[in-house]
Structure 1
């Protein structure tokens, strides 16, 4: 049985994570508006900054809504998931490949998005993250030229006796095992020099 995580309140870490990730694009929007106010001349650069920042913030909000929100019994179609990942990729260092053709339960998409965030922490220079399912097993794979692997964090996904204190940027490592167990899924992970895998 999965034990209670030592972090007193994972929800507060989630809130901190969301705020941290959104403050940058929202701050850039404010900067763009200030520049427009200061320079009423040709404002194409400032408008591009605002447009890109709005898109970045919207992409993150849509992603967070799935990763951290309630899943229920809803299904998510390929087009919806692809739209979220495409918008996120446009504002990040990652290319995403969604290789599932049919609608999928939102609860499993949520696990896949949390797995994405785990992989993201190990890929500081970006790379490609792919999602696929074989029979009933999902596999999320990160491919990069440079892995930054925190052995304790990754061990905590599968060893319930390892419960490191998490920062907001690492909250997905606390949520994924709990939510996977609730969904009746068993997590596993593996890695080599350039690839890192999470299966459930």
Structure 2
């Protein structure tokens, strides 16, 4: 995959993740414009409000997880990272368990944690729990993401991408490639291990 293809796929992934909630906002606004029934208008307003909040949460998450996220060498508070992850997962069938320690991590480590968590969520097609354990004060950055739930699994393509192996990619499959590049950039030694009813991602 060339850098140009990588960039194009990543942009497509961002657009793909925003189309759903933004489309729901537009549909809700159309109902508000045409509907006169008070109950219908109230339901439409709820849809607009929740969908707009979901789109904002995804934008805030992806801006940091996929974007430049500040100047070179910047450090980010892990509590802020945890807030962004929680916002992304506030809608859906996956519950987050994460009590971030009050530390600052280099931005690429923070981005790696966010992307590893996103992979953990994708390993739970029927929902479940994603638990994050992160190193605290006085320790080098490191984490373990455990995705637990019925049918928890890691696809062969994602597993190969996380090992840096060449395989076919699309807009959705580019995110594991980004995760591999981030892990390689910080020498994280990222590993992914399928277990009974769970998948673990460990770095550091």
User: So what's the TM-score if we normalise by structure 1?
Assistant: 0.88
Equivalent residue, structure 1, for 2:65: 67
Q: 5+ unaligned residues in a row in structure 1: which ranges? A: none
Partner SS, residue 169 of structure 1 = coil
Query: Which aligned pairs between 1:155-174 and structure 2 lie closer than 5 A?
Result: 155-158=160-163, 160=164, 162-174=165-177
Equivalent residue, structure 1, for 2:131: 130
Shift of 1:79: 3.7
Equivalent residue, structure 2, for 1:28: 24
Supply the distance in 2 between the matched residues of 1:138 and 1:165 (Cα, whole angstroms): 28
Partner SS, residue 199 of structure 1 = strand
Shift of 1:197: 0.9
The answer to whether the 8 Å contact 2:81/2:114 transfers is no
Query: Which aligned pairs between 1:36-185 and structure 2 lie closer than 5 A?
Result: 36-42=32-38, 43-71=41-69, 72-105=72-105, 106-134=107-135, 135-136=139-140, 137-158=142-163, 160=164, 162-185=165-188
Residues 83 and 174 (structure 1 numbering): CA distance in 2 closer, same or farther, change over 3 Å? same
Residues 13 and 84 (structure 1 numbering): CA distance in 2 closer, same or farther, change over 3 Å? same
Shift of 1:122: 1.9
Q: What is the aligned-residue RMSD (CA, Å)?
A: 1.9
Q: 5+ unaligned residues in a row in structure 2: which ranges? A: none
Aligned length, in residue pairs: 194
Equivalent residue, structure 1, for 2:9: 13
The answer to whether the 8 Å contact 2:94/2:124 transfers is no
Partner SS, residue 92 of structure 2 = coil
Partner SS, residue 175 of structure 1 = helix
The answer to whether the 8 Å contact 1:118/1:170 transfers is no
The answer to whether the 8 Å contact 1:7/1:166 transfers is no
The answer to whether the 8 Å contact 1:25/1:57 transfers is yes
The answer to whether the 8 Å contact 2:160/2:167 transfers is no
Shift of 1:96: 1.5
Supply the distance in 1 between the matched residues of 2:150 and 2:118 (Cα, whole angstroms): 18
Supply the distance in 1 between the matched residues of 2:166 and 2:2 (Cα, whole angstroms): 7
